Structure 1
């Protein structure tokens, strides 16, 4: 059954922004693991549980391209799980001759480069017995990173597709991860810096020049794409009932604040604590907004007003696995495990 087009958006009366339902994309046939707007906000890509990457037009919300429809089979003739766990569009730069390129990582250990508008697979990397859960492009598009079950954060050269550095697991006092990694993010203001987080309750800060972690931040329990960085501040979302959304200084690792999920006036409190799978800053306005989602709801926060929530999409039938702001900042997508991505528009009311 299709979801309601006009799903409710709860928000206070006196806020500087208003959020309105814009409908949805998807057909409910397979869970959506990741959603991402392209750099020009023409398309929304959805990485799905069945391994496909579905591309929707933002002009009319129609499915316009379908990638990765082929299935690989194991020697036992059983379908291998190829869930598309994370997708990223390659940044648009003057050096990029081929446009409309994205990467997808999968639960079978594969990394795929796609030319979206032709449907062609441009390149494929594969690591056996290493399900991948996250990926990200450097801001200049010259490198990309992947991570997953084997605890190694790999950074690749985008041109050669060869590994530039492999950040190794930690142990015996050495820096690095000791459990599965579910989020990796480059710092937009320094392409040599990236962060990662996962089940080991740490955020590792990596420096490509050093070839190792230069800092570990203890606390966040990361179970999805819940890390972001803006102006030296890390946003971290955790899969837990309390202190699930926090800010840390990139330079020192010190916790700046814990964001009150139910803070503010005019938005009703959650019936159950929301544990997070997704969190990010808005892209267009120095991170003036935060969008985070998890178990059955998503919330918008105003970083210019003490991180108060200014809107919420609640009472969803399934978990929110992914969220994304458009580059213009006037749209957002909420990708859910029921196979639909809810779309909203955001307007300023100054």
Structure 2
């Protein structure tokens, strides 16, 4: 057991991976809605409930840039527009400008930022909408957004024009019938993206068909809790049971429900964890899973090469975990938390 301030890392014996605390960063002024390492693992971007986006240097955990999305509406009070999701543009994108990220907000805005200069490069609005999620295509040519109006919109990154709108469903039709909280591209199939939300479905969209080609029923997605590797979908659900599951993308068949406690010596929480965020590791084709949420206010890391057994539990946090991210090299993990702090963890593989 390892304890730092207000969180604890627990690990069972005889596991192939170890996780250690690297520290807590942030100022605790606003709940963290989204965290993302940049493609070079040099920076960690943090989207906050007050609308600001903070960029930290990963090597020393220092705040180096602040991109402030707040505005004054004339009343003397700054309007809060939570930064609900952030994504770095992939390094393979054809655009010459590097260090670019997008942020989406609860007022329906989408913002492109050049992080190292602090400049706003472009802003667009999804009118009369609230946006909760976004993702870039693997090559950076497109980005997708979704939220309250049930439409998944795909934009051309160069022109910023909508190229496809995946429409809501109804009366048994494919598509969403309630708010969408996660959208994710399949990095191995760039024409495929998935989305999930409050309607207890995962929709699988095909850019070539212009519609949903399959729906998976069951997961209750309330945050950035979808991912896909090798055509296997990871889904985190905000509920007491069966909160972490994996499915075949091709058939929609359930492969496995992951045991949160795993039966390998990790202390069982007094309360179940209702999952807000879940992700596969990036560098090793998904050999690890990280997930976190509310009620028990904890996160767990799982080894997909060892029957999805948990190899670490991050516990005793004062509030929910809203976002998780692995570094691209797999050596670090970040937890974005409701108390306005980010918990950083290092990961090592034992021989």
Partner deviation per Cα, 1:214-267 (whole Å, 9 max, x = no partner): 000000000000000000100000000000000000000000010000113121
Offset, 1:59: 1.5
SS at match of 1:275: strand
Structure-2 change in CA distance of 1:159 and 1:94 (3 Å): closer
Q: CA deviation at 1:346?
A: 0.2
Structure that is richer in strand per residue: 2
SS of aligned partner of 1:347: strand
CA contact (8 A) 2:93 2:140 kept: no
How far does the alpha carbon of each residue in 1:138-189 deviate from its partner, in whole angstroms, 9 at most, with x for none?
Answer: 0000000000000000000000000010000001222100000000000001
Q: 2:55 aligns to what?
A: 55
Report how many residues are paired.
Answer: 347
Distance 1:168 1:81 in 2: 29
Checking the alignment, whether the CA contact within 8 Å between 2:205 and 2:214 is kept in structure 1 is yes
Q: Which residue pairs with 1:307 in the alignment?
A: 308
Distance 2:85 2:233 in 1: 20
> RMSD of aligned C-alpha atoms?
1.4
- Relative distance call for 1:161 and 1:274 in structure 2 (3 A) is same
- 8 Å CA contact 2:185, 2:193 repeated in 1: yes
Q: CA deviation at 1:318?
A: 0.3
Paired residue for 2:112?
113
Cα-to-partner distance string for 1:77-108 (whole Å, 9 max, x where unaligned): 76433100000000001623111000000001
SS in structure 1 at match of 2:96:
coil
Alignment of 1:310-321 (within 5 A): 310-321=311-322
**TM superposition shift of 1:61:** 0.3
The equivalent residue for 2:9 is 9
Task: Measure how far apart 1:37 and its partner are.
Answer: 0.2
Separation of aligned partners in 2, 1:239 and 1:102: 27
Instruction: Tell me, in whole angstroms, the C-alpha distance in 1 between the residues paired with 2:93 and 2:221.
Output: 34
Report the 3-state secondary structure (helix = DSSP H, G, I; strand = E; otherwise coil) of the residue aligned with 1:229. strand
Distance in 2 (alpha carbons) for counterparts of 1:81 and 1:64? 22
Contact map agreement 2:93 2:141 (CA 8 A) in 1: no
Deviation at 1:190, TM superposition (A): 1.1
SS of residue matched to 1:304 = helix
State the match for 1:251 in structure 2: 250
Provide the residue aligned with 2:213 in structure 1: 214
Structure 1: tracts of 5 or more residues without a match: none
Question: What does residue 36 of structure 2 align with?
Answer: 36
SS of residue paired to 2:146: strand
TM-score by length of 2: 0.96
CA positional deviation for 1:286? 1.0
The match for 2:334 is 333
- The 2-side partners of 1:174 and 1:181 are apart by 16
SS in 2 for 1:236: strand
Structure 2 runs not aligned, ≥5 long:
none
Compute the TM-score of the two structures, normalised by the length of structure 1.
Answer: 0.97
Secondary structure of 2:104's match? strand
- 2:327 aligned with 1:349: no
Q: 1:94 to 1:277 in 2, by over 3 A?
A: closer
CA distance in 2, matches of 1:6, 1:169: 42
